[in-house]
Structure 1
Amino acid sequence: MTVLVIGATGEIGRAAVAALSEHYDVLGVGRSTTPAVDFTRPETLDALFADHAPFEAVVVLGGEIPFAPLSELTRENFESGLASKFLGQVETVQRGTAHVADGGSFTLVSGILTDHPVAGSAAASAINSAVNGFVVGAAPELPRGIRINAVSPTVVTESVQYHGAFRGFAQVPAAEVAQWVLRSVAGEQTGQIFRAGW
């Protein structure tokens, strides 16, 4: 059976596809792939599951969040980030549960700003915290032995979008984050937040 990776074209996504492909058949998708998944259009999730399920596991490594000073963040900024990174992942689980095999899993993504905020990260910290909270809350309710975890990386070495506020943060290669994704898919744990590189 196949492992689905949503967000497969990003730095972590490409590394995760490579790591998982050593052990599983992998379908990697994103907004620019065929098939495509766009979290702002939940019907693309339904089409993907209808055409390609069942899956052994679903990995979500996508979602966008705003990064700006609190005084500049608007309600629309928060709503956009929540719709993308938080609700996009939540809806993937809700819409995808029926299409994941017994004993399969979901792996979501949050980030270090949940626990170590910096200037400009109010929205990112809040949204990543919501993802982690969802994982913990959803784990006891998923049926048929389906597991759910999140991978929470520190700053990814290959990222080109460093902000001055991240000085002093540990960095982790995308390939190492991918090993945590593999651990989530292949392991037995559920309701866990795997802190990659910190």
Structure 2
Amino acid sequence: MKILIVGGNGTIGTPVSRQLAKKHEVIVAGRNSGDITVDMTDSQSIQAMFESVGKVDAIVCIAGEAKWAAFEEMTEEDFYLGLKNKLMGQVNLVRLGYKYLNDNGSFTLSTGILADHPVELTTSAAMVNGGIHSFVKAACLELKRGIRINVVASGVVEDAAEKYEAYFPGHNPIPMWKVVNGYVKSVLGKGTGEIIRMYDNC
């Protein structure tokens, strides 16, 4: 398979890329590094990436950002950061990437635990994650040519637990190999419209 991984050099993206590259051709795209660069907030940049890469069998996104701040301090523009980057960035990867996917190909998007278990300072991130979940459940009903779409929702991974433990009191860090397996399941499995939750019930 030929697999395009947007965000394939990040904390989670790197081990996912490494695992899939064992048996498949992996192309890594990133904002500042990778085989090709892409700006997820710019649909023209996304289009240019697909034109350069050409047809693929799977498109995986492990990228996107949203503002973390106290709700009373959030401005309209702060909310637009997550909406334009993590939400519409991933929606545009599907919208524009659809014609570049071979028949029976797949999309794998990324969210996180905040859609189900938000914590303080995450009104924007939780909202965006929930929106992506709903988008995937609706989009799977209309994608044709055997194309599948899923989203992997990870808890705090062990590799980043120290950085985020203050925000997630009592949450159990998730081993990286488990999170990687969520992406493998989406790319190599047969499911569609799934929210693949890689975290303990909180």
Query: Is 2:30 aligned against 1:40?
Result: no
Aligned equivalent of 1:192: 194
- Structure 1: gaps spanning 5 or more residues: none
Which one has more relative contact order, counting CA pairs under 8 Å at least 6 apart? 1
Identity %: 37
After TM superposition, what 4+ stretches of structure 1 lie above 3 angstroms from structure 2? none
CA shift, 1:165, in A, is 2.8
The 1:163–1:123 alpha-carbon spacing in structure 2 relative to 1, beyond 3 Å, is farther
Please state whether the residue corresponding to 1:93 is helix, strand or coil.
Answer: helix
Please state whether the residue corresponding to 2:163 is helix, strand or coil: coil
State the match for 1:50 in structure 2. 51
C-alpha deviations, 1:127-163, integer Å up to 9, x for none?
0000101000100111101000000000111125315
Question: Aligned match of 1:182 in 181, 184, 195?
Answer: 184
Q: CA deviation at 1:42?
A: 1.8
TM-fit CA distance, 1:23 = 2.3
SS in structure 2 of the partner of residue 9 of structure 1: coil
Structure 2 residue identity aligned to 1:101? N
1: CA distance, partners of 2:6 / 2:104 = 20
Q: Deviations over 1:70-111 (max 9, x none)?
A: 111111011011100000000000000000010000000011
Aligned partner letter, 2:16: A
- Secondary structure (helix, strand or coil) at the match of 1:125 reads helix
Q: Which amino acid aligns with 2:121?
A: G
Aligned residue type for 1:84: N
Q: Does 1:29 align with 2:32?
A: no
Q: Is the 8 A contact 1:151 1:195 kept in 2?
A: yes
In 1: Cα distance, 2:114 partner to 2:78 partner: 17
State whether residues 5 and 62 of structure 2, in contact with CA within 8 Å, keep that contact through their aligned partners in structure 1. yes
Q: In structure 2, give the amino acid aligned to 1:187.
A: G
Once residues 165 and 40 of structure 1 are traced to their aligned partners in structure 2, the CA distance between those partners, rounded to angstroms, is 27
In the comparison of the two structures, how many residue pairs are matched? 198
8 Å contact from structure 1 (residues 12, 175) kept in 2: no
Decide whether the 8 Å contact of 1:66 with 1:77 is kept in 2.
yes
Give the structure-2-normalised TM-score: 0.94
What amino acid maps onto 1:7 in structure 2? G
Partner SS state of residue 127, structure 2: helix
The residue number in structure 1 matching 2:145 is 144
Name the stretch that deviates more: 104-113 or 40-49.
Answer: 40-49
User: Contact 2:3 / 2:24 at 8 angstroms: preserved in 1?
Assistant: yes
CA RMSD, aligned part only?
1.2
Between 5-14 and 32-41, the greater mean CA deviation after superposition: 32-41
| Residue number in structure 2 paired with 1:19 | 19
Aligned with 1:185: secondary structure? helix
What TM-score, normalized by structure 1, do the two folds share? 0.96
Which residue identity is paired with 2:31? Answer: R
Letter of the 2:111 partner, please give it.
S
The answer to whether the Cα contact below 8 Å between 1:12 and 1:61 also exists between their aligned partners in 2 is yes
* Aligned match of 1:4: 4
Q: Distance in 2 between matches of 1:102 and 1:185?
A: 14
Q: Who is 1:102 aligned against? A: 103
Moved more, 164-173 or 117-126: 164-173
CA distance in 1, matches of 2:176, 2:78: 27
For the pair 1:89 / 2:90, whether they are aligned, the reply is: yes
